[in-house]
Amino acid sequence: MAAAKKSVDRSMFRRMLQKVAKVPYGKVATYGDIAYAAGFPGAARQAAWALHSGGEGLPWHRIIGAGGKILLTGEFGFEQRMRLEMEGVTFLGLKVNMAAHRHSFTPQPKKSSRKRG
DNA sequence: ACGTTGACGGATT
DNA sequence: TAATCCGCCAACG
């Protein structure tokens, strides 16, 4: 294998954005989850940066803060909540009902783990 | 190169 | 619940 690394993906952002795109309809994930699933535990901040930078075309509204709290501000925070409710996501006070809508990222979906269907 | 900023997270008070 | 502190790391000026 030639040229293994060296600029893996241009940025860790790319990885995170891919995870964001993986969040299905009616589900949500936290910044920490995105970063963790992307392979960067602790880089929750960068997950936010990734969205801030390239959230276009992605379900950015499905990404929330730890505990299900919407950290966005201004109209964006308002829109995010509206969108989530529109997808069937329920809220507990000011927070999303994580227990019911938290998306489970598969860390490493081992190859050929597909079961007979 | 340096310091500040930020859609963070968890713990503490 | 709110306010504060520290750790995390890339982008921005």
pLDDT digits 0-9 by tens, A53-99: 777 789 999 999 999 999 988 888 889 999 999 999 999 888 899 98
Closest nucleotide to residue A12 (Cα to C1')?
Answer: C10
CATH architecture of A12-101: Orthogonal Bundle (1.10)
DSSP E strand stretches across chain A: 29-30, 63-64, 91-92, 95-96
Through-space separation of residue A109 CA and nucleotide C9 C1' in angstroms: 27
Contact by Cβ (8 Å): A83, A61: yes
Could you report the per-residue pLDDT of A88-104, keeping only the tens digit for each? 999 988 889 998 999 98
